[in-house]
Amino acid sequence: MSALALILANRGHSVSGSDPRNNAAVERLRAQGIQVFREQSSANIKTICSNVDIPPVVVISTAIPKNNPELEATKQTELKILHRSDLLAALIQAQPSIAVAGSHGKTTTSTLLTTLLATTNQDPTAVIGGEVPYYGSNGHAGKGRLLIAEADESDGSLVKFSASLGVITNLELDHTDHYVNLDELINTMKKFGQGCQRLLANYDCPILKEHFDATAWWSIKTAVDVDFAAIPIHLYGNQTIADIYEQGELIGQITLPMPGLHNLSNAMAAIAACRLEAGLSFEQLKQGLADLQPPGRRFDFRGSWENRQIVDDYAHHPSEVRATLAMARLMVNSGLSPLPCPPKRLLAVFQPHRYSRTNKFLNDFATALGDADAVLLAPVYGAGENPIQGATSESLAKAIKIQHPNLSVKVGQDLNQLALLVQKHSLEGDLVLVMGAGDVNNLWSQLQLLSQTTRYRSSLAA
């Protein structure tokens, strides 16, 4: 929503909105002259209507409940209401565009794609779900030919998009609050693919390979029968070196300044999209690789705390947890890392996101978390869902102990207690990897507050 607001404001539209939080994204909006109300009230709609000559259009997301006071006032005033996806669909339709979809890696892939285009002077417009480090924002109103959009499948609204090139990173059942089964998700993604002029897909994903007819394929496992391939030569804790193939022919080698096979796949997708839709040469793209960084909340180093390195990551599905832990384990084992110091041990702090997802994937989460040296669990972040019996962090802890009897697992009752558990059970040299899509990213602030409180008490004792 904030990315859309930024782009519209930069294109000369009068934009207003509301958000009870006052964070960096809100400050960016205000800096662009966007009026952001601190409270969501029906009075806001009256204020906006009184300041304009033409009735405003109100844009909402799926997260807005029907009893929201602004939404109710909008209906009473009979203003036009658009879903966020309707607005994004209009932007995608208005210019050549690349829409990146998939169960995992779409934010990273669209971020890497945007960065490669930006560093090769293409100045794309970007609407991304996470912060693009190159721009310091999740939205950018570019002057170039292309628009890059992250196409979220969580509510099925991506079927509205008609992109010049669609990209699907992978497919796996998630968002069980919306999709009853995998077939439903496959059918939705097929509609998305059919709505795009061309489709680029991941050959390594068995579901995509079986059910989709893509214009072009990429892989990190084989260069045979695929259009683009990145075959890893060396996997380090701080980078990946890979040979790049097009149509089965070796065209060069890259050094990706990001570890992990999942990031190599995301980068190959971005390179392939640039080759297909922007017509950029491999040499042009190779020069831009050094500037690649993951988006915010994707293995995001928050700082050092009592000789522990704290990293925040958005992983909230078993496959994402597995991939993130594998990348962190590579850093521990290789002694190489993009962090200030190579970590000695891996402490996973995980917050399950949604009761429906926790219930569906309880044992899968237990398996994935087994690659850590110790595990701390936060309470389930419900995201508006009602609790489901058995879908709790305590149940997950039991499942982990059944699969990994020797693994230390503790459950915190809130973020404050979780910070105390980190203090008690972590060791100097640990990588404290905080994972989840809820408010567990605030743990860094809790740890800092804990240190301040401890120092204050020590000074009083002295």
Catalytic residues: 106-107, 150
* Under 8 Å between Cβ of 250 and 243: yes
* Under 8 Å between Cβ of 374 and 404: no
CA–CA distance, 365 with 367 (Å, rounded to integer): 5
Closest CA to 55 of 84, 20, 95, 82: 82
For the beta sheet containing 249-256, the strands, ordered from the edge strand earlier in sequence to the opposite edge, are 137-140, 125-132, 147-150, 97-101, 165-168, 198-202, 216-219, 228-235, 240-246, 249-256
Distances (CA, A) of 71 to 79, 81, 89, 161, 366: 10, 9, 21, 25, 40
Encoded amino acid at 88, one letter:
L
Other beta carbons within 10 angstroms of residue 200's beta carbon come to 26
* Under 8 Å between Cβ of 38 and 22: yes
Element (H, E) at 409: strand 408-411
State both tokens at 170.
């992978």
Dihedral sign (CA 359, 158, 156, 56) = positive
